[in-house]
Structure 1
Amino acid sequence: MRAAVITSFGAADVLHEAEVDTPVPGRGQVLVEVRAAGLNPAELLARSGGFDLPAPAIIGFEFAGTVAALGDDVTGIEVGARVAGWPDGFAQGSYAEFTLSSNYTIIPDGVSFTDAAATVIAADNAARGLSLLRPDPGETIVVTGASGALGGAAVQFARLQGLTVIGISGRSSLGYVESLGAIAVEHGDDLADRVRAVAPGPIDAALDTAGKGLVSTLLDLRGGTGRVVTLADPAAAAQGVTFSAGHPGNRDTRPVREALEHIAAGRWRTRIARTFPLRLAAEAHRALEAGHTGGKLLLVP
């Protein structure tokens, strides 16, 4: 099979297309023919050596595709089923024509592979972050990075739960954030004061999906660390802020399935900026590193 392979770790140029053996599903696994793979900041860290992966490695932490083969003891799924989920290994990931998975959900009819692949990590992490805040309907929450895949998922889950959402984004994305049902506020100077000016009442909770030093603004808005969660700034834990990172032990297909069902019903939006073939994986990483992508980036084998 073709894959974007890393034989040494470093800058984006270490990614290159190569022919490698197609993996064989083990007990409880399915072999998935990858139709789309999302690009995520954690993969930049993995590529540069931050995860201490063995080389050669195939990274890629989310996928959408079709089941090509079943391992032993796999039930409830058939070859040909459309699925989205996580590869089982950090070094045998989704930047490839095929990957192995035991953690996936069915893609509903009417949902594209690209929309599904753009939703897995975002929906799972956003739902976990919101659950840590314990929101009640009618409360007001601030979400940073509201125009990104993760922030957009958080905004949409929060709105579906009956929350008023104030979404922070760059100027070019304010209209998109408003289309998700949030009150959009531009990132920049005097942010806390501008958020207070549009809030219908007190800020009850805050979710950081952007990092970039915005936790201090959320602490100002909340008057302390209570009900402030970051999904993007591990350094904030030193200030007493709850930091929650996604990892194999806390992945949950239920919010992924819920988001996909909302997409099928026309109640959920994804924002895909660009797709790349495997041979341009390095270019895709450079685009992700540059930021301001205007939506999700995907590899399409």
Structure 2
Amino acid sequence: MKKVSFAEFGGPEVLQLIDAEEPHAGPGQIRIAVRAAGVNAHDWRVREGQFQKVRPIELPAGVGLDASGVVDEVGEGVDGVEVGDPVFGEGSSTYAEFAVLSAWARMPEGLAFEEAAGYASVVETALRVIREVGVLPGQTLLVSGASGGVGSAVLQIARDRGITVIGTAGAANQEYLRGLGALATTYGEGWLERVRQLGQIDAALDLAGSGVIRDLVELTGDPQKVISIADLGAPESGVRFSGVAGSVPEALTEAVDLISRGKLHIPVEKSYPLSEAAAAHTDSQAGHTRGRRVMVV
């Protein structure tokens, strides 16, 4: 099969499309013929070697966590899914023609493979950080870097729970944030005052890692009311860094419920063939994404 891999840590240029042995589903797993794979910031952070001190990987390594596709192998002990079922979920080395998933859900009616590919770890992350930051219905949550995949999910999930959301993003994405139910403002000079004019902040999330941790602590008045998924230096300011939790089936169940109720939709901004994985990472690292980027097979 074809698979995106890298043999050394570095920039997008280390990604190569190679011929590789097909993986197979082990106990408690399924294998899918991949139709699309989500592009996450986690993917290029792993490629750069940012997590080697906490979660070392051996090289060469594959790329990707999220995928959608059609089941073509069912592992021992797995019930409720059959060969031929369309699913989306989370696994490893998903930038490939075949991938093994360790958590999955049947795709809701009418959901396209490209859109489904972007949901698994994004919704898991959104649910996790909303829980960890402790924001409650009736309170106000500030989301820094709100227009990407996780931000899009956070805004919609929070609004569904009765939480007021203030989102920061570039000027081009202000209407997008408002369309998701957020109070929107731009980052850059004077942004703290613009946020204060929109409301009192009870909790805050840093989703972009753009050096705003101290400002978020100032706005909330408490580092325990701030969570970052993007700034590895956050703990230096007393702020928790929340990394990838791994496969969480409950998050996929909630994603299906939200999608089926029309409460969650994350648009695909751009799709790329496997041969253009380097371009996908370059674009992802540049930021300013509206929704998701995906690889298509």
The TM-score bracket by the shorter chain reads: over 0.9
Q: C-alpha separation between the residues in 1 aligned to 2:223 and 2:47? A: 33
Determine the structure 2 residue equivalent to 1:35. 35
2:275 to 265, 272, 279: 279
The 3-state SS of whatever aligns with 1:55 is coil
Gapped regions of structure 2 (runs ≥ 5): none
Q: Which amino acid aligns with 1:36?
A: A
CA offsets, 1:217-272, max 9 Å, x none? 21111123242222222211111112211133xx4232333233322333222121
Contact preservation (8 Å) 1:271, 1:295: yes
Contact preservation (8 Å) 2:142, 2:167: yes
Please say if 1:11 is aligned against 2:31. no
Determine the structure 2 residue equivalent to 1:293. 289
CA offsets, 1:26-63, max 9 Å, x none? 22221111111111122112223444433332211111
Distance 1:243 1:55, change over 3 A: closer
Determine the structure 2 residue equivalent to 1:179. 179
Q: Sequence identity of aligned pairs in percent?
A: 36
Q: Which amino acid aligns with 1:40?
A: N
The 3-state SS of whatever aligns with 1:154 is helix
The 3-state SS of whatever aligns with 2:36 is strand
**Number of equivalences:** 293
Give me the CA root mean square deviation: 1.7
Determine the structure 2 residue equivalent to 1:243. 241
Please say if 1:110 is aligned against 2:110. yes
The 3-state SS of whatever aligns with 2:194 is helix
Determine the structure 1 residue equivalent to 2:81. 77
2:227 to 194, 207, 229: 229
Gapped regions of structure 1 (runs ≥ 5): none
Higher mean C-alpha displacement, 253-262 vs 152-161: 253-262
Higher mean C-alpha displacement, 216-225 vs 121-130: 216-225
Provide runs of 4+ in structure 1 moved above 4 Å.
Answer: none
Q: C-alpha separation between the residues in 2 aligned to 1:286 and 1:135? A: 33
Higher mean C-alpha displacement, 31-40 vs 103-112: 103-112
The 3-state SS of whatever aligns with 2:147 is coil
CA offsets, 1:152-171, max 9 Å, x none? 11111110110111111111
Q: C-alpha separation between the residues in 2 aligned to 1:29 and 1:225? A: 39
Q: C-alpha separation between the residues in 1 aligned to 2:135 and 2:291? A: 27
Determine the structure 1 residue equivalent to 2:264. 268
Determine the structure 2 residue equivalent to 1:63. 67
Contact preservation (8 Å) 2:104, 2:252: no
Determine the structure 2 residue equivalent to 1:160. 160
Cα offset for 1:111?
1.4
Normalising by structure 1, we get a TM-score of 0.91
Q: Which amino acid aligns with 2:155?
A: V
Q: C-alpha separation between the residues in 2 aligned to 1:82 and 1:35? A: 10
Determine the structure 2 residue equivalent to 1:144. 144
Q: Which amino acid aligns with 1:228?
A: V
Contact preservation (8 Å) 1:95, 1:299: yes
Q: Which amino acid aligns with 1:204?
A: D
